[in-house]
Amino acid sequence: MRSRLPRTACLLRLIALCILLSHSAAYFGLTGREPLVLLPAPFSNEAPTGKAHLKQCEQMSLTRRQKRLCRREPGLAETLRESVRLSLLECRYQFRNERWNCSMDGRGSLLKRAFKETAFLLAVSSAALTHALAKACSSGRMERCTCDDSPGIQHREAWQWGVCGDNLKYSTKFLKKFLGQKRVSKDMRAQVDIHNINAGIRAVKSGLKTTCKCHGVSGSCAVRTCWKQLPPFHDTGRLLKYRHDTAMRVLSVTNAATGETELAGPHRHSQSLRTTDLVYLEDSPSFCRPSRYSAGTGGRSCAKDTTCQSLCCGRGYNTAMRLTSMSCHCQVRWCCHVECQTCVREEEVYTCKTA
Amino acid sequence: MAGAIIENMSTKKLVIMGVTLLLFQALAFMVGGLIAPSPTTAVHYLATKCVDKIKHQEESKWFMPWGHDQCEKIRTFDEAVAKRIEANNIVFAIHIPMPQKEMSPWFQFMLVILQFDIAFKMYNQIEDGAMASLDVRLAYRDDTVSDWTEMAHSLELRKLSCNFTTTRTFENEGRYYECDLLPFMEIGSVAHKYYLLNIRLPVNERRKVNVGIGEIKDIRLVSIHQNGGFTKVWFAMKTFLTPSILIIMIWYWRRIMLMSRPPVLLEKVILALGISMTFINIPVEWFSIGFNWTWMLLFGDIRQGIFYSMLLSFWIIFCGEHLMDQTERNRFSVYWKQVGPIVFGSFCLFIFDMCERGVQLTNPFYSIWASDVGTELAMAFIIVAGICACLYFLFLCFMVFQVFRNISGKRTSLPAMSKARRLHYEGLIFRFKFLMLVTLTCAAMTVIFFIISQVNEGHWHWGEHTVQVNSAFFTGIYGMWNLYVFAIMFLYAPSHKRYGDERSSGQCITGDAGANSGEDIQLTTTITHVDGPTEIYKLTGKEAHE
Each residue of B515-536: pLDDT tens digit?
333 333 333 334 443 343 333 3
pLDDT digits (tens, 9 = 90+) for B411-429: 888 888 888 888 888 888 8
pLDDT digits (tens, 9 = 90+) for A269-310: 555 678 888 988 888 888 888 888 888 888 888 888 888 888
The DSSP string of B392-449 is HHHHHHHHHHHHHHHHHHHHHHGGGS-HHHHHHHHHHHHHHHHHHHHHHHHHHHHHHH
Last residue of a domain, one of A247, A264, A295: A295
Whether B450 and B493 map to the same domain: the answer is yes
CB atoms within 10 A of CB B429: 24
B247 pLDDT more than 90 = yes
Residues B197/B43, Cβ–Cβ less than 8 Å: no
Strand partners, B141: B194
Q: How many CB pairs (< 8 A) connect A and B? A: 164
Q: Do A162 and B81 touch (CB under 8 A)?
A: no
Classify each residue of B334-370 as buried b or exposed e, where b means 16 or more C-beta atoms within 10 Å of its C-beta: bbeebbebbebbbbbbbbbbebbbbebbeebbbbbeb
Q: B246 pLDDT band (50/70/90 cuts)?
A: very high
CATH (domain of B181): 2.60.120
Angle at B228 between CA B223 and CA B232, to 5 degrees: 145
Mean pLDDT score, B290-306: 90
Residues A125/A200, Cβ–Cβ less than 8 Å: yes
- Burial, A165: exposed, middle or buried (Cβ in 10 Å; 0-12, 13-18, 19+)? middle
| B4-13, B33-42, B249-258, B342-351: the lowest-pLDDT one | B4-13
Whether B173 and B303 map to the same domain: the answer is no
Among A316, A336, A31, A154, which residue's Cα sits nearest to residue B101?
A154
DSSP classification of residue B70: P
pLDDT at B505: 40
**Three-class HEC string of B469-493:** HHHHHHHHHHHHHHHHHHHHHHHCC
CB atoms within 10 A of CB A131: 28
Whether B48 and B179 map to the same domain: the answer is yes
Mean pLDDT score, B306-321: 91
Residues B198/B140, Cβ–Cβ less than 8 Å: no
Return the half-sphere exposure (C-beta side, CA atoms, 13 A cut-off) of residue A264.
11
pLDDT at A151: 58
Whether A301 and A291 map to the same domain: the answer is no
Looking at chain A from residue 125 to 154, which residues have their Cβ under 8 Å from any Cβ of chain B?
Answer: 135, 137-145, 147
* Strand B178-179 versus strand B90-96 pairing type: unpaired
Q: B506 pLDDT band (50/70/90 cuts)?
A: very low
Q: Is the CB of residue A232 less than 8 Å away from at least one CB of chain B?
A: yes
Is pLDDT larger for residue B337 or for residue A184? B337
Q: Do B66 and A141 touch (CB under 8 A)?
A: yes
Nearest to B76 among A40, A225, A230 (CB): A40
Query: Can you tell me the distance from the alpha carbon of B155 to that of B147, in angstroms, rounded to the nearest whole number?
Result: 23
Whether B361 and B403 map to the same domain: the answer is yes
* Strand B215-226 versus strand B40-46 pairing type: antiparallel
Among B144, B257, B129, B155, which residue's Cα sits nearest to residue B192?
B144
Return the half-sphere exposure (C-beta side, CA atoms, 13 A cut-off) of residue A6.
20
Whether B240 and B262 map to the same domain: the answer is yes
Among B314, B286, B352, which residue's Cα sits nearest to residue B484?
B314
Cα separation values, A66 from A16, A82, B179, B445, Å: 9, 16, 38, 53
Torsion sign across C-alpha atoms A104, A105, A111, A116: negative
Whether A31 and A72 map to the same domain: the answer is yes
Cα separation values, A44 from A52, A302, B21, B38, B380, Å: 8, 39, 62, 37, 52
Mean pLDDT score, B316-334: 80
Q: For the sheet containing B149-159, what is the strand order?
A: B73-74, B48-51, B90-96, B194-200, B131-141, B149-159
Output the average pLDDT for chain B: 84
pLDDT at A176: 82
> Which pLDDT tens digits describe chain A residue by residue (355 residues)?
343 434 444 444 444 444 444 333 322 222 223 232 233 444 444 444 456 677 777 777 677 777 888 888 888 888 888 888 888 888 888 988 888 888 777 777 777 788 888 889 889 888 988 999 899 888 888 877 777 655 556 777 888 888 887 788 888 888 888 877 655 666 778 888 888 888 999 999 999 988 888 888 777 888 888 888 888 899 999 999 999 999 888 877 766 666 666 777 766 555 567 888 898 888 888 888 888 888 888 888 888 888 888 888 888 888 888 888 877 777 777 877 777 888 888 888 888 888 6
Residues B89/B52, Cβ–Cβ less than 8 Å: yes
Nearest to B87 among A47, A328, A335 (CB): A335
Q: Is the CB of residue A222 less than 8 Å away from at least one CB of chain B?
A: yes
Angle at A68 between CA A62 and CA A74, to 5 degrees: 95
Mean pLDDT score, B489-496: 86
Report the chain A residue with the minimal C-alpha distance to residue B180: A211
Number of domains in chain A: 2
Any domain includes A53 = yes
Any domain includes A92 = yes
| A63-72, B37-46, B88-97, B406-415: the lowest-pLDDT one | A63-72
Last residue of a domain, one of A246, A267, A295: A295
pLDDT at B303: 93
Q: Mutate one of B66, B124, B359, B475 to test the A interface: name it (highest A CB count within 10 A).
A: B66
Whether A139 and A110 map to the same domain: the answer is yes
Residues B320/B329, Cβ–Cβ less than 8 Å: yes
Mean pLDDT score, B156-167: 89
Whether A106 and A251 map to the same domain: the answer is yes
pLDDT at B82: 82
CA distance A189 to chain B (A): 35
Whether B413 and B458 map to the same domain: the answer is yes
Q: Which residues of A touch B169 (CB under 8 A)?
A: none
Q: What torsion, rounded to 10 degrees, do the Cα atoms B497, B502, B507, B509 define?
A: 60
Query: Can you tell me the distance from the alpha carbon of A317 to that of A172, in angstroms, rounded to the nearest whole number?
Result: 45
Query: Can you tell me the distance from the alpha carbon of B23 to that of B36, in angstroms, rounded to the nearest whole number?
Result: 19
pLDDT at B59: 64
Any domain includes A1 = no
Query: Can you tell me the distance from the alpha carbon of B33 to that of B469, in angstroms, rounded to the nearest whole number?
Result: 6
**Three-class HEC string of B16-30:** HHHHHHHHHHHHHHH
Q: Do A332 and B72 touch (CB under 8 A)?
A: no
Whether B248 and B114 map to the same domain: the answer is no
Number of domains in chain B: 2
Cα separation values, B113 from A199, B43, B44, B224, B245, Å: 32, 10, 10, 8, 38
Q: B58 pLDDT band (50/70/90 cuts)?
A: low
Q: Is the CB of residue A223 less than 8 Å away from at least one CB of chain B?
A: yes
Whether A260 and A301 map to the same domain: the answer is no
Any domain includes A155 = no
CATH (domain of A355): 3.30.2460.20
Torsion sign across C-alpha atoms A80, A84, A85, A90: positive
Q: B503 pLDDT band (50/70/90 cuts)?
A: very low
Is pLDDT larger for residue B510 or for residue B111? B111
pLDDT at B171: 80
Whether B344 and B467 map to the same domain: the answer is yes
Output the average pLDDT for chain A: 75
Whether B365 and B493 map to the same domain: the answer is yes
Mean pLDDT score, B9-36: 91
Residues B9/B540, Cβ–Cβ less than 8 Å: yes
Looking at chain A from residue 160 to 179, which residues have their Cβ under 8 Å from any Cβ of chain B?
Answer: 160-164, 166-167
Query: Can you tell me the distance from the alpha carbon of A204 to that of A233, in angstroms, rounded to the nearest whole number?
Result: 8
Whether A19 and A96 map to the same domain: the answer is yes
Residues A10/A18, Cβ–Cβ less than 8 Å: no
Query: Can you tell me the distance from the alpha carbon of B157 to that of B367, in angstroms, rounded to the nearest whole number?
Result: 10
Nearest to A223 among B39, B86, B222 (CB): B39
Q: According to DSSP H, which parts of chain A are helical?
A: 8-31, 52-59, 64-72, 76-94, 107-112, 116-138, 155-161, 167-179, 188-206, 233-245, 308-311
pLDDT at B31: 92
Q: Which residues of B touch A226 (CB under 8 A)?
A: 42, 458
Range of the domain at A16: 8-147+165-295
Is pLDDT larger for residue B21 or for residue A335? B21
Range of the domain at B138: 41-226
- The overall pTM is greater than 0.90: no
Query: Can you tell me the distance from the alpha carbon of B73 to that of B50, in angstroms, rounded to the nearest whole number?
Result: 5
Report ipTM (2 d.p.): 0.82
pLDDT digits (tens, 9 = 90+) for B449-467: 888 877 776 677 777 777 8
Whether A106 and A86 map to the same domain: the answer is yes
pLDDT at A256: 66
Query: Can you tell me the distance from the alpha carbon of B71 to that of B496, in angstroms, rounded to the nearest whole number?
Result: 75
Percent of chain B having pLDDT more than 70? 88
Q: B236 pLDDT band (50/70/90 cuts)?
A: very high
Mean pLDDT score, B236-260: 92
B495 pLDDT more than 70 = yes
pLDDT at A185: 62
CA distance B293 to chain A (A): 18
Is pLDDT larger for residue A285 or for residue B504? A285
| A217-221, B38-42, B94-98, B382-386: the lowest-pLDDT one | A217-221
Last residue of a domain, one of B172, B197, B226: B226
